[in-house]
Amino acid sequence: MKISLCIPCFNSEKTLGACLEGALHQSMPADEILVIDDGSTDMTAAIAGKYPVKIIKHAKNMGLAAARNTAIKNTDAEFIASLDSDCKPDKDWLKYLVGRINLSNVAGAGGRVVETGASSIFDIWRSVHMQQHWGERRKTNPPFLFGSNTLFRKAALISAGFYDDNYRNNFEDVDISRRLRKTGYNLVYEPQAAVGHLREDDLFSLLNNFWRWHFAFYVEEGFYKNPERFAFKIKDNIGLANRFLEEDLNNERYKLIYLDFLIALHHSLRDFDYFNFPGSQGQFNIAMHSKVSFWLSLLDLTFFYHFDCSKRNLSSLIQKEDTFPQNFLALGLILSIFMRMKFSDREFNKTLHRHLLFSVYKIRDDRLLDRFFNLSQLHQDWSGLIKKQQVNLNSGFLEVLLLNFKSCIESLASRFSGISKLIENSARETDQAMTVT
């Protein structure tokens, strides 16, 4: 049997060397290794060039699914193995997968990802809530095979129609697993086929990668089709955050609970931006907004808030494509009095919004936050921002998120004594970790 090992890479200079070292020292080595350089702008290609591998370059970044399809189309091997570039395989990894795929009617086998770094609070959270395995026992036909480390029959992948390029970097493994199962093939999960995960996250990469994990599922299920379905997505975000909070509290993983808490607002803001995005799913990634748009939005909200509350459908100085910053800031202003009531640390609310601004749009601007929170102190009730029905504020989104978020915090406070102080302490640890990264 001839095996081709595919390693898709995009700006993988930090981990590619370790990945290739593990791939080249297998007890059952692959017949060839294809490094698919998916439009990297760092030293990925130079590092790959130091090893006995075949390098295929994409002119631009096209995503994991496209990179794997490139490998399939550029080999005559009967079997296609795949490794993510931030994974280092154990020496017997491929041998265990080959042992499983030789079974009758098995189209693919996948292994287990073991977190090896887990040094920062972000990596620890990922190791708990983003596990890439199905346990310690072998399984036939698990829900899907994690794409980070697999072995497939090439003919089966072709008959299933290749990977779907539209999924780019997430859900492509779920999709191909599902289509293979529909054609009558079996899939096998082999926990002895282990790879070490070398990934290191910060707040931005952790929360956005986790959001993308489930994004395609929610699109497929129609949660972004209309305001009514979208409201259920917001509720689901808060339910997910609440479930993680309870799990971490019950298991005394107190340092993680602020990140759980943050998910409710982060995911809802990311969802809102996608819900309002005029492009297709394939085009959408992170619709970056500039610092200037946030400053203008703050000025705009301040100006129009001082109109008489009897005024309705107020106009705005801000273009329609920049509505997100206004809704982001309006959410913070309306939440401010509630947050001051529930959290005694006067800096907590500012910390929360600093982390949201960074995690959603990778913006750091302490001057903006200072002005924002000075403004929030001027009024005890900012709900007039919704009542005035300013054209760019989505009252339905804000009301659903505010109602359900407040209800969640109230419920947690009634069931877990001292929860506010625990979240504040966890937030400080997260802030310290951000300073390090």
Q: How far apart are CA 164 and CA 147, in angstroms?
A: 13
Place of tokens 């801000």: 318
Nearest CA-CA partner of 359 in 234, 436, 267: 267
Specify the pLDDT at position 288. Answer: 60
Nearest CA-CA partner of 116 in 24, 194, 204: 194
135-144, 230-239, 304-313: least confidently modelled range: 304-313
Residue 4: how many other CB atoms lie within 10 Å: 22
Token pair for 199: 């990934």
Instruction: Summarize pLDDT for 334-383 with one digit per residue, the tens.
Output: 998 899 899 999 889 999 999 999 999 889 999 999 999 888 888 778 88
Instruction: Summarize pLDDT for 4-24 with one digit per residue, the tens.
Output: 999 999 999 999 999 999 999
HSE of 136, CA atoms in CB hemisphere, 13 A: 0
Buried b (16+ CB within 10 A) or exposed e, 14-53: bbbbbbbebbeebeeebebbbbbbbbbeeebbebbeeeeb
Residue 393: how many other CB atoms lie within 10 Å: 22
pLDDT band at residue 1 under the 50/70/90 scheme: confident
Q: How far apart are CA 80 and CA 78, in angstroms?
A: 7
Its pTM stands at 0.91
Token pair for 74: 């550029």
Contacts of 341 (CB under 8 A, 6+ apart): none
Q: Where are the domains of the chain?
A: 3-197, 203-436
The CA angle 53-58-59, to the nearest 5 degrees, is 135
In the predicted model, is pLDDT for residue 116 greater than 70? yes
Q: How far apart are CA 192 and CA 158, in angstroms?
A: 27
Beta strands 186-197 and 139-140: pairing type?
Answer: antiparallel
Cβ contacts of 344-349, under 8 Å, gap ≥ 24: 344/420, 344/421, 344/424, 345/424, 348/423, 348/424, 348/427, 349/373, 349/376
Q: How far apart are CA 398 and CA 389, in angstroms?
A: 12
CATH classification (class only), 3-197: alpha beta
- Tell me what percent of the residues of the chain surpass a pLDDT of 70: 92
Instruction: Summarize pLDDT for 183-205 with one digit per residue, the tens.
Output: 999 999 999 999 999 999 999 99
Most confident range (mean pLDDT) of 98-107, 129-138, 302-311 is 129-138
Which whole number is the average pLDDT over 298-322? 66
412: left (phi over 0), alpha (psi -120 to 50) or beta: alpha
Beta carbons of 234 and 397 less than 8 angstroms apart:
yes
Specify the pLDDT at position 307. Answer: 56
- Tell me what percent of the residues of the chain surpass a pLDDT of 90: 73
pLDDT band at residue 282 under the 50/70/90 scheme: very low
Specify the pLDDT at position 311. Answer: 59
